[in-house]
Chains A and B, each alone.
Chain A
Amino acid sequence: MTTSSSVFPPGPIARPSAISASAIIVATYRYVFVNAQLVLVALYLPITLAAIMLWILFKTYFSMLSAYLTSPDARMASLTLSATIAGYLIWLLLNVVASGRLARLIQGQPTRRWFDVKDMAPEARLYAAVLRFLLVLVLAAAFVTWVVWLVLPFLRGSQADYVTVLSGIGLAAFGIVFFVRCGFLIPALVMNESRGILRRGWQLSRRHFWPLAAVWVVVMVLPALLLQILGDFLTRPLSSNPAEPGMSPLAAGAHLLATDDIAIVGVVLTLTLSSALCLTLTTIGSCLVYRSLKECS
């Protein structure tokens, strides 16, 4: 059972009518550095398991993809897709457990044994809220795809291209707005409120989109992007397995990742580090933003 020694550094991060993005960003990074040991203790087990899950997922996926590309078969495609979705959902669960443990730490609540399923109400709420969040995104994507599919036959070549690109941009914009207004606040909301997490996030973040977007970019997007680029740069020399002659680039890539253990470990490590950092900063940022939004409201 561990609790954080200092919850948040003192100092105003919210004015009566608006939140201060810079103060939240500074407080987020400061929290990570001041409580680095506690954060690591809280996260190491779920994140390690998530990394193992990711390795299994990638290994399975790329092996199946490679087999499918060699001899396309509907059964193999179905199995690949199902195994990927199942693996992703388990990986997501482990990340949710990590985020929940961190949120407990931030709020000064005791963290229990790491996976006592019956005593993990915030984690269960967090997982349910994340699944609902993903469902909305999937439904939005399906709706846009359906509309574009209906419209495309009536358009000429260049017009069809424009519509496809614009719909993609629109969908991405919706995803960003939805994440900034609802998704970002989920870890803090599940610790403090029990119902209507997404709706509550949308209500709380009204009139605060731009400060939240700034926090999101600096706290989540930039570190993840930098770590991903760095990881890609460092692990690229590890992948030396030559492609077999006559293979398509996609099949060669799948074959490489299915057969080269070092390459796949490099990819998994990079992704795990970036997702763990992303998760840590997002959870801390979320709790800080929630506190400042409550002060504003």
Chain B
Amino acid sequence: MTLQASGAILFGALMVSLLILINARAIGEFLNVMDHPDAVRKRHDQVTPLVGGLAIMVPVLLWAGASLIWNPSLDSRLIEVVLLCGAGATLVGYADDQSSTSPSSRLLSLFLLSAIALAIDPELVPSALNWGSFQPTAIPQWFAYIFVAVGMAGYVNAVNMADGQNGVVTGMFAIWAGCLMIVTGNSTAAIAEVMFATVFVTFLFNMASRVFLGDSGSYGVAFVFGILAIRAHNRWGVSAETIVVWFFIPVMDCLRLMVARALQGQAPSDGDRDHFHHRLQDRIGKIAGLCTYLGVVGISSLTASLVPNLSLVCMVVLAAFYFSFAWLTETDARTVEKDDADEPATHEAGKSRPRLVAAANVVKFDGKDATAGRE
């Protein structure tokens, strides 16, 4: 296929994405995927279509189908995985957008889709973990299957949990697509290019609150990125540390929340306002919080992609940033709670309390006081 033909297909994918985004409300109403605000966890102003994921995945799937037919130079197995399993993960999320499905059924679906992906493209099964700072660790094949399936399911859920503020997940998708374009080539880079183009326009519409990504997006797009990351590791020699750096913040946040909820006697899948982006938003404001989130993910991911030898350093710095911020916001919230408990008389008398006023933007982070979720 010529360069012009590839460009035309890419342009076509972009146009399809724009078409979906411009008609998002009509499509959302037709598909019955509209997100209604409830003033509890969903604090957005108006009913918003959950078709951002479709605006990314539909063109990607169309591109994948067209490439299978007209572009034999691309790796057909990888394209088939993206086409079948990406569509499958999108449908799992779409079903959840329409009427909430159980977390266990979604998890099982992701395991199944990961197994199908590994069956279609055996090259996705790693024979060893390639480290940037250690010698490679050989892993048996049975373990590799379990590792990939559990890793994919965990990662996709982590991305889904991070989808609580406009621009956070779509911004991360754009960053990851850019990184994949840098560190890979051929089919993997071609898919990343299409993803980048469609994710970028969706990011703009998402920032304008015209569309939400929806579970169809967080599941489908994250699944494809997971597949591309495994491919980058297995074929393009991208180190495990580099991939950990890319996904560090959402995955670490997911793990922290699961542990915190378990300690509070809640189910790991319960919603609350304790996510990293919520804490950033409450501490430094909405826009600054988003810029910080994407800035941290972007700078560390690009550094790890461009200078792979610094991946482990990026991991250390990311861990310091993440845990020191978590510690800071946790202790601040406790200070406010304790002041509330210590000074009931002052509070009742309506007298001003400077310390509480100064910390007024700090919310309580336990699940019971959750007041917002998606944007």
Chain A interface (Cβ < 8 Å from any Cβ of B) = 74-75, 77-79, 81-82, 85-86, 89, 117-121, 123-125, 127-128, 131, 193-195
Contact = CB atoms under 8 A, between A and B. Distances in A.
B132 A78 contact: yes
Contacts, number: 69
A155 B74 CA distance: 48
B132 A75 contact: yes
Nearest to B283: A195
Nearest to A193: B358
Contacts of B334: 118-119, 121
Given A86-B316, A194-B358, A75 B328 contact: no
A118 B133 contact: no
A128 B316 contact: no
Interface string B331-354: 110110000000000000000000
B316 A89 contact: yes
A121 B325 CA distance: 12
B236 interface: no
A189 to B, nearest CB: 12
Query: Interface residue tally of chain B, by bracket?
Result: 20 to 34
Interface stretch (B34-42, B212-220, B251-259, B307-315): B307-315
Contact of A124 (B309, B321, B327): B327
A85 B316 contact: yes
B313 A120 contact: no
Contacts of B358: 193-195
A195 B355 CA distance: 11
A89 B311 contact: no
Interface in B269-328: 309-313, 315-317, 320-321, 324-325, 327-328
A128 B328 contact: yes
Contacts of B328: 124-125, 127-128
7 contacts: A75-B133, A82-B312, A89-B320, A119-B334, A125-B332, A131-B324, A194-B332
Contacts of A118: 330-331, 334
A194 B315 CA distance: 28
A103 to B, nearest CB: 15
B313 A82 contact: yes
B298 to A, nearest CB: 15
